[in-house]
Structure 1
């Protein structure tokens, strides 16, 4: 009977020891993503939840919106790409300093389950090498800006 009692005590001690060391190792082995601003404050912290891709938007107009119920009430993330069509070079050289200086990706606004976009600097014309100009409304479809979004 004494041996059984000692065996139970040893089992409990080993169990508690393993439980405490396992907890400590999980805290030390955190995974995820954290980004910080210049003052050291956290901008993004997704160490305790995963990001989910929901879709993409081809922003071919100066303004627009899409509805996606998957984003309603959640934190939304965005990423942009710009892949200009070769036809844009007929009008402008995309590497031209003029378009690099004044082109901005669209502003994005999330309201419930709706994502809206709006390009800025739309009143400024872009000049081609021949001296003619194009409005931002004429350029945006050729820029092929794609907005990828999701939730986390």
Structure 2
């Protein structure tokens, strides 16, 4: 059953009870990486293995995302500041125990490429918060795999 989450803003990224932060460099410029994050929403299913489908809604102001395991999320884009930040909050999900969730992607030049930092900021029941802390390693692995596939997609000629 889907349920509505607490509508948090960007400040939640710094104040959330659970914050998981992952970073990695890719060899494409920030502008190109930003376009993949913010403009090619369906492409997330190609380069982020946990995502089975993603589509923009409300003229690009939101996203419908489905993850492996049957999780569904309806999101609102909070910020799309090219080329340095892309952030969204989850408004509705079928994930149990979640009360609030905001994700932020920070991009910064790094040599000839981009350093990406993904912050997963969440609140929920004690069981959900504990689950996230235990899931940190798996989420980190998923992020690393996604960045490898994203880099390949950005640097391989079509």
Same fold (TM > 0.5): no
Of Structure 1 and Structure 2, the greater strand share is in: 2
What is the TM-score normalised by the length of structure 1? 0.33
Larger radius of gyration: 1
